[in-house]
Amino acid sequence: MKKLFNILIFVIFLTGCISNPLTGKRTMAFVDNSELFPMAFAQYEEFLSENTIVTNTKEAAMVKRVGENLAAAAQKWFASEGYAHYLKDYRWEYNLILDDAINAWAMPGGKIVFYTGILPITQNEAGIAVVMGHEIAHAILNHGQQRMSGDVLQQLGGMGVQAAMELMGASENTTEKAMLGYSLGTTLGVTLPYSRKHEHEADHYGLILMAIAGYNPDEAAPFWERMSALGGASVPQFLSTHPSDASRIKNLRSLSAEAKRKAAEFGVEF
């Protein structure tokens, strides 16, 4: 039973993977973007209808301008790799939302939200590019698709554990303990590290995107230093979906030179 289930998972994994032209890595894709994007677009529209969109301000115009510049940089990058049509189904949109939350996020297919609360930290157009580059990187690297696929795989694993316990004739109490152990193990060992991997990738490729778009990647580390200076309660890095501020800042400083070299291939010098 267990062997058969493992074979089934292996087959699903092989048939549910795609390669990203930028990273060259095969990633899980149990949910196709043709299904995922329309759902994301609908959720985005629902979110906008329930929140206050800031328009006709210099900040709103700046958010949109930076987004357009970075999306154009992404298109150039994919085209240079021979994948000019890779982003054809993306519907880029950038909205500034009136909210004190220090946050920004992206949905699959290129729908971006910036909150006004993060603007005092970004400070200028380059600071917005740091955040926007990170969010656009999430979108073009299909992190939403991978996360949803990971959830599907985790659910299948849970079903396998439960089936195995029932086959063994385990008591209800033993089964509950086994399921709890599985849930905790996959969360700490798979889900959270997987999310941190996404954050590192978004930092890395977002830095390159902002450089190709003409924004100095050296601005990324100071932005995160300003974020770190806000203080507040934090959780240990191994329990967080985001890398610690210190590791992120160190990583961004080390990647800045690479981003500049890549931008130079597109005629952008710093």
Mean pLDDT calculated for residue range 114-123: 96
Tokens representing residue 81 in the block: 């790799």
Q: What pLDDT digit, counting tens, does each position of 119-175 carry? A: 999 999 999 999 999 999 999 998 765 666 555 455 544 444 454 445 555 555 554
- At 46, is the pLDDT very low, low, confident or very high (cuts 50, 70, 90)? very high
CB 107 within 8 A of CB 40: yes
Mean pLDDT calculated for residue range 184-190: 40
Mean pLDDT calculated for residue range 213-241: 77
Q: Which residues pair with 115 in a beta bridge?
A: 97
Tokens representing residue 193 in the block: 């590290």
Tokens representing residue 269 in the block: 């010098």
* Maximum average pLDDT range among 3-17, 25-39, 213-227, 233-247: 213-227
CB 109 within 8 A of CB 33: yes
Ramachandran angles phi, psi of 214, nearest 5°: 100, 10
- At 33, is the pLDDT very low, low, confident or very high (cuts 50, 70, 90)? confident
**Candidate from 67-81, 123-137, 186-200, 222-236 with smallest mean pLDDT:** 186-200
Q: What pLDDT digit, counting tens, does each position of 62-110 carry? A: 999 999 999 999 999 999 999 999 999 999 999 999 999 999 998 889 9
Q: Give me the percent of the chain exceeding a pLDDT of 70.
A: 65
Q: What pLDDT digit, counting tens, does each position of 127-143 carry? A: 999 999 999 999 999 87
* Residue 235 in this model has a pLDDT that exceeds 60: no
pLDDT at 130: 97
E strand map for the chain = 17-19, 26-28, 53-54, 93-97, 104-107, 111-115
- At 194, is the pLDDT very low, low, confident or very high (cuts 50, 70, 90)? very low
Task: Tell me the C-alpha distance between 59 and 133, whole Å.
Answer: 17
* Residue 247 in this model has a pLDDT that exceeds 60: yes
DSSP annotation of 190:
I
Enumerate the active-site residues.
Answer: 135
Residue spans of the domains in the chain: they are 32-147+191-264
Ramachandran angles phi, psi of 233, nearest 5°: -70, 145
Q: How many CA atoms lie within 13 A of 161 on its CB side?
A: 19
Task: Tell me the C-alpha distance between 96 and 135, whole Å.
Answer: 14
Mean pLDDT calculated for residue range 209-237: 84
Work out the mean pLDDT of the chain and round it to a whole number: 78
